[in-house]
Amino acid sequence: MNQHLPIAVIGAGPVGLAAAAHLLERGLEPVIFEAGASAGAAIEQWRHIRLFSPWRFNLDAAAVRLLEPRGWKSPRPTALPYGGELVDDYLTPLAELQPIASRLKTGARVIAVTRAGLDKTHVRDRDTAPFLVRVEHGDEVRDYTVSAVIDASGTWSTRNPLGTSGLPAIGEERAAERISSPLPDVSGRDLTAFAGRRVLVVGAGHSAANTLINLAQLAKEAPETRILWAVRGSTAAKVYGGGDADGLPARGQLGSRLRRLVESGTIELHTSFGIRSLTDSEDGVTITSGDGRSLVADVVVPCTGFRPDLDMLRELRLDLDPAVEAPTELGPLIDPEFHSCGTVPPHGAKVLAHPEKNFYIVGMKSYGRAPTFLLATGYEQVRSVSAALAGDQLAADTVHLELPETGVCSSDAGTSCDVPAVAPLAPQLAASGCCSTPEPSFVGFPTGLAHGRSGS
């Protein structure tokens, strides 16, 4: 690796900034490209949502080591911050520190990464050739030459489509004006777009549940508001969770509230509603299901999950799980088809490596289409990756067991977190015993599905 060239970090979210802090500690030179106007631009979009993991799991150690000597005071470790607090009380102060600020380029969207002078098919000197990162700064496009690339660009900007089969529904793009962001602040910042309107929420996860409950709150003040909810499955039971008996009380409470709102008619639930098409007109958008039913709404909220943007990595040699689009060794451990588990054992550079040397995908994007990523996992990823780039293989390979182990495995763990036998585990993953403790905890991102989708 050419030590005279900087290392590109794509994205100034929590994991990208943590990567920069770790690289600086190692004496390496990061250059951070952030598409948004400021650090934490994706979280800014869901600043009204409360995190389910407390501060102590949301702070990166190297970032804290940069912040504390400069007078920053850590929030109470057990408090659960809102997204906005994560930005205001942690990411913004971090991004404003001189060592980070001087290396951070905002309004800088990476549109492609390749090897300088080599397309994907060329192998000679590939491992030693620098990377070329193409960046849009407003109307201007510039190429940067760097020695390594850490892609921490998240998945927020690429939501899953509304249509079934993984494709946009027919007419979805044309109806774009009727489709909101994935987690609108329906009773706050975005209230005027929702009050008194016909709103269709699509999806069967936590985002859908939160949005529906907030809409019901809004409907109390704006009774004209009509709340429609479409799910693909034949029931919404998995969103309701186990009520009082739920292994995760917060999920249980959320689910019970939702169930009551559906049963009382405040929310109109439409099951087995796989969306085939959207037709926009002056009177609203008509959403039609595969079996010919139709709903009319003024606005559609797409709580359909996210997928990684791999287009900008097209010229790189990647090794991704064919289903989850996470690094091949990681994919089977987080595949939502088989897992309700919110955490995986800590893992680092080895598991995240691609055939393209010195290129890593980290953070939310490293989980591909799996919805269970945790910040604490990402911080350990970038600690290890930075060590690997600094040539400290021992530190890179010694992944630390600092993560909460229980995650949101269902309480009969041992089955729910079994790894499907599709790929051998990396030694450190196998050794650390995913979900060895059956106690559920609040840390983790529940899919709401015991044993993953295959269990339902």
Ligand X SMILES: Cc1cc2nc3c(=O)[nH]c(=O)nc-3n(C[C@H](O)[C@H](O)[C@H](O)COP(=O)(O)OP(=O)(O)OC[C@H]3O[C@@H](n4cnc5c(N)ncnc54)[C@H](O)[C@@H]3O)c2cc1C
List residues near ligand X by CB under 6 A.
10-16, 33-36, 40-43, 46, 49, 51-53, 109-110, 152-154, 156-157, 183, 312, 363-364, 373-375, 378
> Token pair for residue 278?
């959207």
Least gap, CB of 402 to ligand X (angstroms):
13
Per DSSP bridges, beta strands 284-289 and 275-281 are: antiparallel
In the chain, the N- to C-terminal Cα span, in Å, equals 48
Least gap, CB of 276 to ligand X (angstroms):
27
Least gap, CB of 297 to ligand X (angstroms):
22
Q: Which of 126, 143, 45, 52 is nearest to 371 (CA)?
A: 52
Least gap, CB of 277 to ligand X (angstroms):
27
Q: Which is nearer to ligand X, 30 or 363 (CB)?
A: 363
Q: Which is nearer to ligand X, 111 or 430 (CB)?
A: 111
Orientation angle between helical segments 14-25 and 375-389, nearest 10 degrees:
30
CA distances from 296 to 190, 278, 289, 302, 382 (A): 21, 10, 12, 15, 46
Least gap, CB of 444 to ligand X (angstroms):
8
H or E element at residue 148: strand 148-151
Q: Which is nearer to ligand X, 284 or 378 (CB)?
A: 378
Q: Are 95 and 12 contacting, i.e. CB atoms less than 8 angstroms apart?
A: yes
Least gap, CB of 311 to ligand X (angstroms):
10
Which residue minimizes CB distance to ligand X?
A: 13
Render 246-287 in DSSP notation, one character per residue.
-SSHHHHHHHHHHHHHHHTTSEEEE-S--EEEEEEETTEEEE
Least gap, CB of 445 to ligand X (angstroms):
6
Q: Which is nearer to ligand X, 277 or 340 (CB)?
A: 340
Least gap, CB of 16 to ligand X (angstroms):
5
Q: Which is nearer to ligand X, 94 or 183 (CB)?
A: 183
SS3 state at 66: helix
> How many residues belong to the chain?
456
Which positions ≥6 away from 181 have C-beta within 8 Å?
45
Q: Which is nearer to ligand X, 239 or 287 (CB)?
A: 239
Q: Which is nearer to ligand X, 89 or 268 (CB)?
A: 89
Q: Which is nearer to ligand X, 226 or 339 (CB)?
A: 339
Least gap, CB of 289 to ligand X (angstroms):
27
Which positions ≥6 away from 241 have C-beta within 8 Å?
248, 251, 252, 254, 255, 256, 448
Least gap, CB of 209 to ligand X (angstroms):
12
Q: Are 227 and 216 contacting, i.e. CB atoms less than 8 angstroms apart?
A: yes
Q: Which is nearer to ligand X, 151 or 276 (CB)?
A: 151
> Token pair for residue 15?
């994991």
SS3 state at 302: strand
Q: Which is nearer to ligand X, 250 or 425 (CB)?
A: 250
The tally of CA atoms less than 13 A away on the side-chain side of residue 308 is 27
